[in-house]
Chain A
Amino acid sequence: MNTASSDLLTLVFGIFGVLIFASAIGYVLQRRFAANGPNAAIDNLNARIKAWWVMVILIGIAFIAGRVGVLILFAFCSFAALREFVTLINTRRADHWALASAFFIVLPIQYYLLWAEEYGIFAIFIPVYAFLLMPIISVLRGDTERFLIRIAEVQWALMICVFCASHVPALLTLNIPGYEGRNVLLIAFLVIVVQLSDVLQYVWGKLLGRTKIAPNLSPSKTVEGFVGGVISATLIGASLWWITPFTPFQAGVLAFIITLMGFFGGLVMSAVKRDRGVKDWGNLIEGHGGLIDRLDSVVFSAPIFFHIVRYWWSLS
């Protein structure tokens, strides 16, 4: 067994340990406070933990399946996220072909380019080519009603759900000396830090939360949760240095950047939801809401994390 898979195994056992611990707490809370009837907060907690089991197992299967497995998993995530996003935007019949090509042409090409490791075109395909071609497809129908809003929203949907999300599997294409064959652990590092940061902000917020940090955007986010979550996720990130090409200090700094981007990404996506008048992006993940509700922080941190690692650590 090479070091990558033995490290991965250690990580998986660690995560299972955390989930078993969380499930046990959920069970005790359920028995103690909600034995005689439903309790919305505890039921939601238990639904979330259950969904975490499913998500961890799915990601685990993708990791075992290797590069193609990870690409397929994230291509499906992009598809489901784009579907949630486009459901909420202003579209008109004139956008039909532009939207169809977003789903069935742009999205597959973006992931194909990752598979082919064509970084040069991967990095500009959506920001340049889709950006210019999508409004051309829309304008051919001659419908000018809310035109700027429509084309801007489609581009935003593609940037968030496809371009940014595809930077998670893009970590596999980096060529880091002395780290060959272990890139999948970079994905694990990013996803674990950003998701733990979300979870820990929620936990610290529930335990100590007093002061709302953004009452207009997200009534459940508190200053205490934010500070506690960022500090603890940064420390956990630093302590995971052994799965990365970084020193413990570097791992901590990167974890700090990831958690900050994740937090502000969550705020931005909350503001979009408020604007559209919905509470959740969808209902794909029981207890969490839609896929974007779970992915928003990953999507905002992935490209930044990718570029920092690419610039300072990678040869390609």
Chain B
Amino acid sequence: MKIMIAEIAAAAFVLFARAITAVRAIWPEHGLPSRPCVYFANHSSHGDFVLVWAVLPPRLRKLARPVAGAEYWLKTKVSTFIGRDVFNAVLIERERENRTQDPIALMTTAIDEGSSLILFPEGTRNQTDARLLPFKSGLFHLVSARPDVDLVPVWINNLNRVMPKGEIVPIPLICTVTFGDALRIAPNEGKDAFLERTQVALLDLAPKPLGSGE
């Protein structure tokens, strides 16, 4: 029963996201990896992973689990149900002091079980005018533990305008989700170099700002 409701709710979320955003995926030249991988995306809205999820082909969607903050999703019964059962999120504790479980261990377990992850390496929603916040080190620690996993950059465009922080009514706007070619950590690649490279790979997918002419 619970599973059925979760599946209906998931379909409703996807349908709603599509009706509001007419979301369209732009695929990389060489296609998506067919093996489990880590999608890392820019983060500006709670709807971000729903959009990534909505555009993934069903076969890959089934594997994909968003990584999200436990503090946020475990707040109420409804949000717990949505986070755990509907989206099957890997819920991690972001506050270092009160942690009971290691986030990296949770993520590697999920990968070892054959899941893909949808990860937002900025760590929090970007409310600034900058296109991307500096990545937290989580992505680096994750691939240091699993260096052979493919990393797919994913740029989510426009969703921050659909529903800015603090608003409850979404504005219908067309969104795109651009997937880049997969990359991996190089042997002996340092943390700063790796994070820099992944940030550049993600920013490369961002469309140029509107009104800039041709």
* Chain A residues in the interface with B (C-beta under 8 A): 79-80, 82-84, 86-88, 90-91, 93, 96-97, 99-100, 103-104, 274-278, 282-284
Complexed CA–CA distance, A86 and B20 (Å) = 12
Interface residues in B158-190 (C-beta closer than 8 Å to A): 158, 161, 164, 167, 169-174
Residue in B24, B171, B211, B214 whose CB lies within 8 Å of A90: B211
Which bucket holds chain B's interface residue count?
A: 10 to 19
Q: Given A83-B22, A87-B158, A96-B167, does the pair A276, B211 have CB atoms closer than 8 Å?
A: yes
Residue in B24, B164, B172 whose CB lies within 8 Å of A283: B24
Could you tell me if A84 and B174 are in contact, using CB atoms closer than 8 angstroms?
Answer: yes
Interface residues of B: mostly helix, strand, loop or mixed? loop
CB nearest neighbor in A for B169: A100
Could you tell me if B161 and A282 are in contact, using CB atoms closer than 8 angstroms?
Answer: no
* A80: chain B residues within 8 A (beta carbon): 22
* B213: chain A residues within 8 A (beta carbon): 274-275, 277
Contact with A along B139-173 (1 / 0, CB 8 A): 00000000000000000001001001001011111
* B208: chain A residues within 8 A (beta carbon): 277
CB-CB nearest 6 A-B residue pairs: A83-B172, A87-B174, A100-B169, A99-B171, A87-B173, A277-B213
Could you tell me if B210 and A88 are in contact, using CB atoms closer than 8 angstroms?
Answer: yes
* A96: chain B residues within 8 A (beta carbon): 164, 167, 169, 171
CB nearest neighbor in B for A83: B172
B212 at the interface (CB under 8 A from A): yes
Instruction: List 9 A-B residue pairs with CB atoms under 8 Å apart, sorted by A's residue number.
Output: A83-B22, A83-B174, A86-B173, A100-B170, A103-B171, A276-B211, A278-B210, A283-B24, A284-B22
Complexed CA–CA distance, A275 and B213 (Å) = 6
